[in-house]
Amino acid sequence: MANDIKLISGTSHPDLAQEIADCLGLSLTQSEMVRFGNENILFQCNENVRESDVFVIQTSCPPVSDGILELLIMIDALKHASARRITAVMPYFPYARSDKKDRPRISITARLIADLLETAGADRVLTMNLHSPQVQGFFRIPVDQLDATPLVCDHLLDAMPLENTVLVAGDVGEAKDLEHYAHRLNLPMAIIDKRRHDDSEQAVAVGLIGDVDGRDTLIVDDEIASGGTLIAAADYLQSQGAKRIEAAAMHPVMSGNAKAKLDGSPIGRVVVTNSIPIPAERRSSKVEVVSIAGLLANAIGAIHSGSSVSALFR
């Protein structure tokens, strides 16, 4: 039927795709992804999508490069199957940290991904909590960026007493996002001065703007990759007299030995979203996961009906 919604999942996060479909009361469109012996990928959509409003759900998680290529192949296939509009639903945007030319002769890879998505035939992008909002400007097509801060804050309010808490940005770059938490939770802020000296993912906390002595603390960051930033911040806060140390982050990349680092750290709990699946072997018992499926489903519904997506944040 023309103009109906089709939800199609890539292989990166089928559980989230199913949850979104459940929230919308829809079934996922039947499709298949074949990997040949030569590592080439074949995607086939097994239902008619002619004139449909198609949402392709593919987050970024290992194997990252395969996930990107899968998404491009899916979009290309759907374009040639005469979909009316194709929205790439990318809860965690790949290469979001490669958003600037901060040293000579490197690629601004987030912009390259934007170009590739447009070339493949994406008409829109729906994403969430970008590492830096300017990534939206890399596109000529519309990009809706969702903010899961309210969901995470609601979880924090239910899960723990926050009266004596100071919110702590894991680094200066996170200070802007911290404002959203501070506004919503009505709590004071502090900022860690974090330095990285090379690409070894070794983060060093060298200072703190604010006072945490005798206070509970909640470290906020946009993502946990190697866990270096979080653990450096937690150790530093402990050295400055912080009592309880908790953390919240949007995207649980959990690469390398992040789980072991978290398990051995003074952090009590870490609240994250399910923008990225966490395999059992990388999942610390300290991690609490808040689902973004409802938020994404509402945004998909709003895009389909042409109503305001920003109204979802109010």
Catalytic residue list contains 286: no
Among 228, 234, 236, 246, binds ligand R5P (CB under 6 A): 228
**Residue 48 vs 132, nearer CB to ligand R5P:** 132
- What sign does the dihedral 114-117-123-125 (CA atoms) show? negative
Mask 167-196, x = binds ligand R5P (CB under 6 A)? Answer: ---xx-xx----------------------
Among the listed residues 4, 147, 201, 288, the single contact to ligand R5P using CB under 6 A: 201
Task: Indicate the residue type of 260.
Answer: A
Closer to ligand R5P at the Cβ: 70 or 223?
223
Residues contacting 222, CB < 8 A, separation 6+: 129, 131, 174, 177, 249, 250, 251
Chain-centre distance of CA 80, in angstroms? 29
At its nearest, how many Å lie between ligand R5P and the CB of residue 234? 12
Is residue 252 involved in binding ligand R5P (CB under 6 A)? no
Question: Which listed range, 15-23, 66-74, 154-162, 217-225, lies at the site for ligand R5P (CB under 6 A)?
Answer: 217-225
Which three-class secondary structure string do you get for 120-178? HCCCEEEEECCCCHHHHHHCCCCEEEECCHHHHHHHHHHHCCCCCEEEEECCHHHHHHH
Residue 229 in contact with ligand R5P, rule: CB under 6 A: yes
Q: Which of 246, 241, 224, 236 is nearest to 174 (CA)?
A: 224
Helix, strand or coil, per DSSP, at residue 76: helix
Answer for which of 225, 234, 278, 297 binds ligand R5P (CB under 6 A) is 225
Helix, strand, coil share (%) of the chain residues, nearest 5: 35, 25, 40
Q: Which of 133, 157, 235 is nearest to 194 (CA)?
A: 235
Name the segment binding ligand R5P (CB under 6 A); options: 64-72, 228-236, 263-271, 288-296. 228-236
Q: Is 144 in the site for ligand R5P (CB under 6 A)?
A: no
Catalytic residue chosen out of the listed positions 194, 243, 261, 286: 194
Q: Does 223 bind ligand R5P (CB under 6 A)?
A: yes
Q: Which residues contribute to the site for ligand R5P (CB under 6 A)?
A: 170-171, 173-174, 201, 203, 221-230
**Residues annotated catalytic, as ranges:** 194
